[in-house]
Every structure is written in structure tokens, then in C-alpha cells.
Chain A
Amino acid sequence: MPDTAVQPDTEAQVKSASAADVVVGILSWNNVDVIGKIARDAQEALPAGFPRRRCVLVHADGGSRDGTQEAASAAVINRDDFVQVAYPVYPAQKISPDHYGVPGKANGIQAIFGVASELNASACAIIDSTIAVPEARSIESLVRPVVEDEIDFVAPRYLRHKYDGAILSGIVYPLTRALYGKRIHQPIGGDYAVSGKLMNQLSRQKLDGDTTSSDADVWIIAQALGGGYRFAEALLGPRQLMRHEPAPDASSILTQTLRSVFTEMNRSAAFWQRVRGSQPVPLFGSWTDSIPDPAPVDPNPMMQSFRLGFENLQDIYRLVLPPATLVELKRMTRGQEAFHFDDAVWARLIYDFALAWRMRVMDRDHLLGALTPLYLGWVASWVVAVHDASAEEAQSLVETLCMAYETQKGYLISRWRWPDRFNP
């Protein structure tokens, strides 16, 4: 049985709110220390940004036990424009929490969309307060393209330093760009804004309640990408990432993220096989802030992980990767020349793992676990490559990697269609 924190007065709150132009939904889970700030910031920034529109804040909580709901309620400035909703969280989702995001997120999002639909909102933003605390004006910047420019999906593009979000830079962004043809730099990350039209479509196609946070995020963006909607990116300032205890390791982050991405890739195969190339999406806002240079990162431990993994997991890699890739990986482990992961090899390797995922060559958690040392090898190569690079130069290297993913897409399509016959 799912655990729900029932809010008996939710219906009354929605009725009293009657109608709204913009709904901002905040998801929370046992994060009493930041929920008040986010709720207050949202209620301050939105009326200032949209003085002629009614903005309602919806707080969705799956049953926090640390007083998060009370803290949010106490922090809001305008109670008339505030609604609290509860949503079901299954015990299994609480026992093995994800590395990021609230448990039962799909239900939380559906609850927010439900309220937004009842209020006839034309724009709805989702903020996951368990991942990071956005800057006060970020929520307004995220919603503005939907309200003023009829954009259907606005993805945030937070200001991050060159080492931040290696999974996004090395896998998720290049892969989604090559598959769906839209250049969205941070396709998953917890926050986004959608139009009323897209929200209504997403409300009709319900996602299973028993999914992870990243499943919900990837599902929503994949639905939007496959539906021919208008996309944009909002340039936002840096956000303060929440600290998790114990800190998640690279393997669990990679497994959770890629499980969602590969699942959606499988589901939308008919669509992405028709897509060629990629187009940029409109950018809104500007980065006025700057972030200090990051502390240097030592790539040696990651190189050691890569070598240890390749030495021990070759039996697994032989089931997944073609001989040419294995030869290239072996060359890298010798360490006779500068450590470098070729972009084309990396793109093909990710495609091979996606294919092995689809074909169920082995247990899927084993497969993604076995990818971790190779991913760390790529991260080490990336750290070496951008060591002396500026943020712009690092971004240009990401673009080069994306081009490699796009160039190698023919390889993916061939193997996807004829997995037994096309095996170079």
C-alpha cells in the first residue's frame, strides 16, 4: 500500500484559488531546511515578474516526516495563492531511495498537473527541491518563455563549471541530441516548465507510479520531443546542489540515469530512427553571474578504475562490444601514450551498451555496472582534455563529442535494426 500524507483541505484550497495563469509546483521530501526558502523565493519572484498574471504555488509532498509540509506552509507570503497536495509513495521507493529526486516523483508531478489543469493554468513549472536550490529569479526565468513566447517546454541551462555534470556532458546530452534532434544541454535535472497544451497531453498519458525520479524526468522530455512541441532553454544562474548522506557513488548515479534514458530510448525507437542531425533551440535570458574556476581534479584514480575494470570485466565486454572497440580500449590501458578516449569510440561504445540493454545480453543492472569503469575512463580523458581549457573551450569540446554521436548514429540504427547481421 502506498503511504500518503492526506491533505483533506486540498480541494478547498484549489477551489479558493479558482483560476491561475501560472502554476509553480515544488516537489519535496524530508528537506525542511530549504523548502521554506524556495517557496518564499517563488512567491516573491513570480508576482514581480508577471504582475498582471495570477501565479499559484503548489507544494507536493509524498509524506515527509521532518516537518517539511509545515515549514512550507509557514514560509509562504500569500496563502490565497498556495495549495498543498499529497501524493502516494510506495514503501519500496522509500526503502531504496534514488540518488536524486523525490521518491514517487511521477505521482507528485501528476498531482501538480492535476491542480494546474483544474486552475486552467497556461504554464506550469516543476521544481524538485531535493536536487538543488535554484536562485530566487530562476523560477521566473524558467516560466517566462512559456508565458510570453508560446514555448511548450523550457529546459534549464544552469551555470556550471566545466567538470560539473560529466554524465550529462558525456552521455545524456549528446545521446538525446543525436536521438531526438534537439540541442538541449541539460535535458534531465529535475526542473522545467511546460505549456498548458503539453501539460494536458502528459496528464492523459499516465506514467507508472512505480518509477524512479529520473524515469519521470526522462519520460516527460521524451514525450515532448516525440510530440513535435516547441522547445527552449533558459539560461539560469548557478544552483546549490543538495548534499546526500551517504554521497552516491558514480556507479549508482550512472545506473539510475542510464536505466531511464535507455528505457525511453527503447520506447521511442520508431521515432528517433527517422531523425537526422540536430537543431539548436532558442535561448532565453543571459548569464550575468560567473562562477569561480573549479579546483583541479586528479584524473589518476579514475584512470586506475578504468584499467582495473578493463582487466577484470573483459568477459562481459566481449558480450557487448565489437572487437575493434575492445582493441581500442586495450590500447588505452597500456598507458604508453597520453590518456585519450576517442569521441567516435566513446559514442559507439554507448550505442553498443544501449543495444545490449535492448537485447538483454545480461542482467541490466550488471550491464550498467560494467559500464562504470569505462565511464570513469572517459571522465579521466575529459579531465585531461579540459585541464587548461576555459568554460567556452570545454563547451566546444562537448559540441565536438555531440557531432561524433550524430555521425555514429548510422552505426546505432544499423545495429538496432539488424543486431545479428550487422556486427563490425
Chain B
Amino acid sequence: MTNQINDILHQTMTRIAAALENFLPGLLAFLMILVLTIVIAFVLRAIIRRSLQRVEFDNRINRWGFAAVNEWSPAHSPTMLIAQTAFLTVLLLGILIGISALDSRLMSLLFVELFNYLPHVVAAVLILVVGSILSRFLGRSVLISAVNMQIQSARLLSLGVKWLVIVLTVAMALDHLRIGGTVVQISFAILFGGIVLALALAVGLGSKDMVKETWARQTDKPDREAEEQFHHF
């Protein structure tokens, strides 16, 4: 009986030792790859940061008309955004390579899943980026036009348009990522409808005077003539 227990324990210990013997080099390789990756990522980040600073990349971005990029960037610096993105990308690649050193089968499965899902992620990111730029552009267009049309609720109107585009964009991105399913669609429809209704009420109440004045101008020609005494050009 004792011999049997000893044998079982011995076999178990042997299996654990063998497993450890198989696993430890992989773990060691993983740790080494990770350390190396971190070092490479840090060096790459420093090189990118210094190179971009040397060519005054932040100022150039402003000059090329992409000042909005500042708002999304860490420390309001597009240079930092690019350097940080490169750092994280290298780190992520290092972790994936490190995992493959631990277990190649797991890694191949992970890669297959990842590559199947990647186009959706890319599309979603693209939608979000374009949506973000579009929402800012349209928001600013509406704000300036509304101010020049003397609409008191110009800021509200601009915010409404901006959020309308953002909500639409996020719903489209989630749909691409296959997250939420019909819940997202229904939520989007409710939210979109709500925003449109709120905007209609806000504009209706905020610009009723303007509508009244426009009608008065259309029907009252003498007013128009008096106004034409002043020519800007």
C-alpha cells in the first residue's frame, strides 16, 4: 500500500517536474522577450519623440490645419501621441510573441481569432476617427452659421449636431464590432430620436423671433428698403 502511494506520488512529482521542465524555458523565453520588447519600445519611443521634436512636428500639425489632433493627444502633443502609439504597438507585439513561446498551439488559435476579428476593429476605428473629425467640423459649422444668423441657442444647436454625429458613429462602430446586437440599434434609435426632438424643441423655441422677423421682412418691403440703406460692399 505504502509502495503504491509512493509510486503514485513519485509519478506525480515526475510529471510536475517534467511539466515544469517543459514550461520553465518557455516562461524564461517569455520574460526575456518581454524585457527586450520593453527596452525596444522605450528606445523606439525616445527616438520617435526626439525626431519629431527636432522637425517641430507639433507646430507643423497645427500649420497643416490638424489642430484638433492636439485635443486627443496626451499632454496636447501629437508627437507624444505617435510615440506612445508606437510604444504600445511594440509592447503588444512583444507580448503576443512571448505567449507563442509559452504555447504555440494557443498562439495559433489566438492569431486565427485575432485575424478574423481584425478587419472589424480596423473598420470600427476608422469609423470612429472619421466620425470624430466630422462631428467637430459639423459642430463648428453649425455654431458659426447659427451665430451669424443671430440664433441665441447657437451653442446648444452645435452641441446637438456634434452629439448626433458622435452617437451615430459609436452605434456604427459597435455594430461593426458585433457588440450589443439589437440592443445597440434600439438604444441608438431611441437616443437619436430623442436628440432630434430636443433639437427641434430648442431651435423652435430659441429661434421663433428670428422666424417672425424673417416673415416680417418677406411681407414688409419698406423695411427691406430701409435696411438696404446700409451696404457692406
Decide yes or no whether A337 CB sits under 8 A from chain B: no
Decide yes or no whether B124 CB sits under 8 A from chain A: no
CB distance A294 to B229 under 8 Å? yes
Decide yes or no whether B232 CB sits under 8 A from chain A: yes
Nearest CB in chain B to that of A164: its residue:
B231
Cβ–Cβ < 8 Å partners of A189 in chain B: 233
CB distance A360 to B64 under 8 Å? yes
Cβ–Cβ < 8 Å partners of A295 in chain B: 226, 229
Q: Decide: A253 near B233, CB < 8 A? Known: A308-B152, A363-B140, A370-B144.
A: yes
Nearest CB in chain B to that of A313: its residue:
B147
Nearest CB in chain B to that of A170: its residue:
B232
Least Cβ distance of A256 to chain B in Å? 9
CB distance B154 to A308 under 8 Å? yes
Cβ–Cβ < 8 Å partners of A163 in chain B: 229-231
Q: How far is the CA of A41 from the CA of B56 in the complex (A)?
A: 61
CB distance B150 to A369 under 8 Å? no
Cβ–Cβ < 8 Å partners of B228 in chain A: 243, 247
Decide yes or no whether A275 CB sits under 8 A from chain B: no
CB distance B65 to A361 under 8 Å? yes
Q: How far is the CA of A400 from the CA of B228 in the complex (A)?
A: 27
Decide yes or no whether B59 CB sits under 8 A from chain A: yes
CB distance B59 to A360 under 8 Å? no
Decide yes or no whether B224 CB sits under 8 A from chain A: yes
Annotate A94-118 by CB proximity to B: 1 below 8 A, 0 otherwise: 0000011000000000000000000
CB distance B148 to A253 under 8 Å? no
CB distance A313 to B230 under 8 Å? no
Annotate A155-199 by CB proximity to B: 1 below 8 A, 0 otherwise: 000000001111110000000000000000000010000000000
Annotate B190-231 by CB proximity to A: 1 below 8 A, 0 otherwise: 000000000000000000000000000000000010111111
Interface residues of A, count at CB 8 A: 42
Annotate B43-67 by CB proximity to A: 1 below 8 A, 0 otherwise: 0000000000000100100111101
Decide yes or no whether B34 CB sits under 8 A from chain A: no
CB distance A359 to B233 under 8 Å? no
Nearest CB in chain A to that of B63: its residue:
A359
Cβ–Cβ < 8 Å partners of B227 in chain A: 247
Cβ–Cβ < 8 Å partners of A32 in chain B: none
CB distance B144 to A366 under 8 Å? yes
Cβ–Cβ < 8 Å partners of B224 in chain A: 247
Nearest CB in chain A to that of B146: its residue:
A312
Q: How far is the CA of A243 from the CA of B150 in the complex (A)?
A: 23
The contact of B150 among A99, A305, A420, by CB within 8 Å, is A305
CB distance B148 to A372 under 8 Å? yes
Decide yes or no whether B143 CB sits under 8 A from chain A: yes
Decide yes or no whether B145 CB sits under 8 A from chain A: yes
Q: How far is the CA of A165 from the CA of B148 in the complex (A)?
A: 19
Least Cβ distance of A37 to chain B in Å? 21
Q: Decide: A363 near B65, CB < 8 A? Known: A253-B232, A312-B143, A313-B144.
A: yes
Cβ–Cβ < 8 Å partners of B231 in chain A: 163-166, 241
Decide yes or no whether A88 CB sits under 8 A from chain B: no
CB distance B148 to A373 under 8 Å? yes
Q: How far is the CA of A328 from the CA of B4 in the complex (A)?
A: 95
Residues of chain A from 286 to 303 with CB closer than 8 A to chain B in the complex:
294-295, 297
Annotate B147-189 by CB proximity to A: 1 below 8 A, 0 otherwise: 1101010110000000000000000000000000000000000
Q: Decide: A165 near B232, CB < 8 A? Known: A361-B62, A362-B65, A363-B65.
A: yes
Q: How far is the CA of A369 from the CA of B144 in the complex (A)?
A: 6
Q: Decide: A360 near B63, CB < 8 A? Known: A100-B233, A241-B231.
A: yes
The contact of B155 among A247, A254, A297, A312, by CB within 8 Å, is A312
Decide yes or no whether A257 CB sits under 8 A from chain B: yes
Query: Which one of B56, B62, B147, B227 has the highest number of Cβ atoms from chain A below 10 Å of its Cβ?
Result: B147
CB distance A373 to B147 under 8 Å? yes
CB distance B147 to A308 under 8 Å? yes
CB distance A313 to B63 under 8 Å? no
Least Cβ distance of A323 to chain B in Å? 17
CB distance A366 to B59 under 8 Å? no
Decide yes or no whether A75 CB sits under 8 A from chain B: no
Annotate A366-380 by CB proximity to B: 1 below 8 A, 0 otherwise: 100110110000010
Q: How far is the CA of A199 from the CA of B68 in the complex (A)?
A: 45
Q: How far is the CA of A316 from the CA of B140 in the complex (A)?
A: 9
Residues of chain A from 248 to 265 with CB closer than 8 A to chain B in the complex:
249-251, 253-254, 257
CB distance A312 to B148 under 8 Å? no
Least Cβ distance of A248 to chain B in Å? 8
Decide yes or no whether A309 CB sits under 8 A from chain B: yes
Query: Which one of B63, B144, B150, B226 has the highest number of Cβ atoms from chain A below 10 Å of its Cβ?
Result: B144
The contact of B233 among A168, A243, A251, by CB within 8 Å, is A168
Nearest CB in chain B to that of A296: its residue:
B229
Q: How far is the CA of A366 from the CA of B231 in the complex (A)?
A: 23
Cβ–Cβ < 8 Å partners of B59 in chain A: 420
Decide yes or no whether A319 CB sits under 8 A from chain B: yes
Q: Decide: A360 near B65, CB < 8 A? Known: A163-B229, A313-B143.
A: yes
Query: Which one of A168, A257, A319, A369 has the highest number of Cβ atoms from chain B below 10 Å of its Cβ?
Result: A369
Decide yes or no whether B111 CB sits under 8 A from chain A: no
Cβ–Cβ < 8 Å partners of B229 in chain A: 163, 294-295, 297
Least Cβ distance of B58 to chain A in Å? 10
23 A-B pairs with C-beta separation under 8 A: A165-B233, A166-B230, A167-B233, A243-B228, A247-B228, A253-B232, A294-B229, A304-B150, A309-B147, A312-B154, A313-B147, A319-B67, A359-B62, A359-B63, A360-B64, A361-B65, A363-B65, A366-B140, A366-B141, A366-B144, A372-B147, A373-B148, A420-B56
Chain B: residues with CB nearer than 8 A to chain A?
Answer: 56, 59, 62-65, 67, 137, 140-141, 143-145, 147-148, 150, 152, 154-155, 224, 226-233
Name the 7 nearest CB pairs between A and B, nearest first.
A360-B65, A369-B144, A251-B148, A295-B229, A253-B232, A309-B147, A312-B147
